[in-house]
Chain A
Amino acid sequence: MPTLGDYLLVSGLLFSIGLAGVLLRRNLLIIFMSLELMLNAANLSLVAFARHGVTAFGLPDYNAQVLVFFIITVAAAEVAVGLAIIVALYRLRQTTHVEDLNRMKF
């Protein structure tokens, strides 16, 4: 049987891959996809903790699963708004490459 530590380790690795995408890639869309990976890693550890903290009735902690439900909803809204911003940016500058967007660079 996989333990709680296994799930947390997999979740941490998924978060690191997302962090690698944000740090190393320079395409805005890929950076956005990596952000989704990091959100999903947080969801995985939440569900693992929900399964670990079984309540007195022998049920998983459903409060955590409701929190995951809310996170998924907020992430969907965030994707919609973020992609609209990327499209508006592309119309203005004809690029999604981070290094070409340096107007606010110090």
Chain B
Amino acid sequence: MLTILFWVFSVLMLASAAAVVLFRNPVNSAMSLVLTFLALAALFVTLDAFFIGIIQILVYAGAVMVLFLFIIMLLDLKAETRRRLNIAALAGGLAVLGGFVVLVTQVVRSLPSSAEHFPPLARTGYPDAYEIGMTLFSGFNLPFQVIGVLLLVSTVGVVVLSRRNLR
């Protein structure tokens, strides 16, 4: 059952990720990006990472995608007109890409533990969010607060960047 779900969601995720790259209209790309994020959240759930899956849906499929669609609407982007293809650049890009895919496949195959199944999990009775919260607030308290400062700085930065007369 888990195997079927894994392959269904990974094929769905890879297909919609390819659609993000292939669609000409940015709105279509953004919609397939939502589908990619949802399938990825499902893959996180198959890895017993429930909290990360929920966060993925809330932050990515919710907040980030709303931001993307808002910007597409604000800029009023039309579908790209076809331009003359630069054959040399296209061939170079595809060559780099092919080499990268071969490299990744080789690395994954040569990994000693790549054919191992995941070990079974113990039942503790605590939910996933409890354990992550304990780790976050006991072991990573300072990074957590630094992240808070980072979010504040980026908010202020966005406000400054979107002023009408940027100096």
Contacts and interface: CB of A to CB of B under 8 A. Distances in A.
Interface of A: 1-10, 12-21, 23-27, 29-30, 32-34, 36-37, 40, 43-44, 47-48, 50-52, 54, 57-60, 62-63, 65-66, 68-70, 72-81, 83-88, 90, 96-97, 99
Contact of B64 (A36, A37, A99): A36
A74 B150 contact: yes
A5 B36 contact: no
Given A2-B6, A96-B75, A77 B21 contact: no
Contacts of A20: 21, 93, 97
17 contacts: A1-B2, A7-B47, A9-B108, A17-B17, A18-B17, A26-B80, A30-B20, A33-B33, A52-B113, A54-B121, A59-B122, A70-B143, A72-B59, A73-B147, A84-B158, A88-B162, A96-B75
B95 to A, nearest CB: 10
A51 B136 contact: no
A43 B80 CA distance: 31
Given A12-B105, A63-B135, A79-B64, A5 B143 contact: no
Interface in B63-118: 63-64, 67-68, 71-72, 74-75, 77, 80, 83, 90, 93-94, 96-97, 100-101, 104-105, 107-109, 111, 113-118
Contacts of B56: 43, 72
B158 A81 contact: yes
Interface size class of B (residues with CB under 8 A): 35 or more
Chain B interface helix/strand/loop/mixed: helix
B44 A21 contact: no
Nearest to A50: B49
A94 B61 CA distance: 28
Given A12-B108, A30-B26, A76-B64, A86 B71 contact: yes
Contacts of B60: 36, 40, 72, 75
Contact of A16 (B101, B122, B161): B101
Q: Most chain-A Cβ atoms within 10 A of its Cβ — which of B122, B154, B157?
A: B154
A79 B59 CA distance: 11
Chain A interface helix/strand/loop/mixed: helix
Contacts of B83: 26, 99
Given A1-B2, A81-B157, A47 B17 contact: no
Contacts of B67: 79-80, 83
A66 B93 contact: no
B35 to A, nearest CB: 12
